[in-house]
Amino acid sequence: MSPWRFFVAVPLQSPYMLIGLALVVALGAAELIVAPGSGQEAVVTLLLLQMFSASSGFAIPARRGHYDAMLTGGVSRTAVVGWHLAMSVAPGAVGWLVLGLCEVGVGRSAVLSQGSIAAMVVVSAAGWAMTVPLPRLSGGVVWLVLLLAGLGWPTVWREDLLAVAAGGADVSTRAVVYLLCPLVVAGRSLTQEDLIALLPAMTLAMTGCLVAWRWLVHMNVPLEAAQ
């Protein structure tokens, strides 16, 4: 069985999510034509949606039996998980590339900047990994709640976030801010300090992905009703 054919027939994102992504890309592209410097705003909005789009969830639909046909269809578990990750990330990534190409057309490159690439990788990997054992969209919701709680509660954190967004703050503060809110790095060229500050977020997202991948490859898939 072809995992591609399976995931096209059984999409990981709801139609509303796909329409939302398409709208963000279309509006972002239109705005880029009118105001070529608006790439950063467009990519931040897209990344926000990508956090939810990549949070597709695996274990729960698998335990409902939705993936039985593919898991017993002659494809290795490793390949199934790989395809699941790719198809979870794909809609947002494709939208991002389309937006980036539109921006290149008007002579700018914020959407495809180093910062945007880093933010896209962290947001996609963390969103997918966090949601693997949870219901769809959970990773995005958890992350948004943490972010809003952080913004609303300690004044120091809010000031740090604003300072980092404005390009200031020391490396350790930036590292914490990038960890909780990788969106602030979108649209920027990265300095050496930024790269160091991004390491914890990148490492955590990649490690989370590997742990989730390994867990899925070895996990039992009982039917919910049979336990």
Partner 1 sequence: MTGEFTISARRVAARYGHREVFHDVSFDLRSGQAVGVVGENGAGKTTLLRALVGLIRPTQGEIRIAGLPPEDALQRIPTAYFAGEATLPGRVRASAWSGIRGMAVVTEGRRLRTLSRGARQLVGLQASLAPASLGLIVLDEPWEGLDPDGARWLSSLLTSKRDRGSAVVVSSHRLHDLAGICDAYLFVVNHRTTYVRAFELSPVGPVTAAVLTGTFDRLRGGDAWARALS
List of residues contacting partner 1 (CB under 8 A) = 1-2, 5-6, 9-10, 61, 64-66, 68-77, 220-223, 225-227
User: Treating both helix axes as pointing N-terminal to C-terminal, what angle do 39-53 and 114-131 enclose, rounded to 10 degrees?
Assistant: 20
| Nearest-approach distance from CB 67 to partner 1, in angstroms | 9
CB closer to partner 1 out of 104 and 221: 221
Q: Least distance from C-beta 105 to partner 1, angstroms?
A: 35
Q: Is 144 helix (H, G, I), strand (E, B) or coil?
A: helix
How many Å is the maximal CA-CA distance in the chain? 58
Q: How far is 58 from 151, CA to CA, in rounded Å?
A: 30
Cβ nearer to partner 1, comparing 73 with 135? 73
Joined together, the tokens standing for residue 31 give 């705005």
Smallest distance from partner 1 to CB 92, Å: 20
Choose between 60 and 142: whose C-beta lies nearer to partner 1: 60
CA distance 203 to 178: 12
Shortest gap between Cβ of 82 and partner 1 (angstroms)?
15
Q: What is the residue type of 34?
A: V
Shorter beta-carbon distance to partner 1: residue 76 or 191: 76
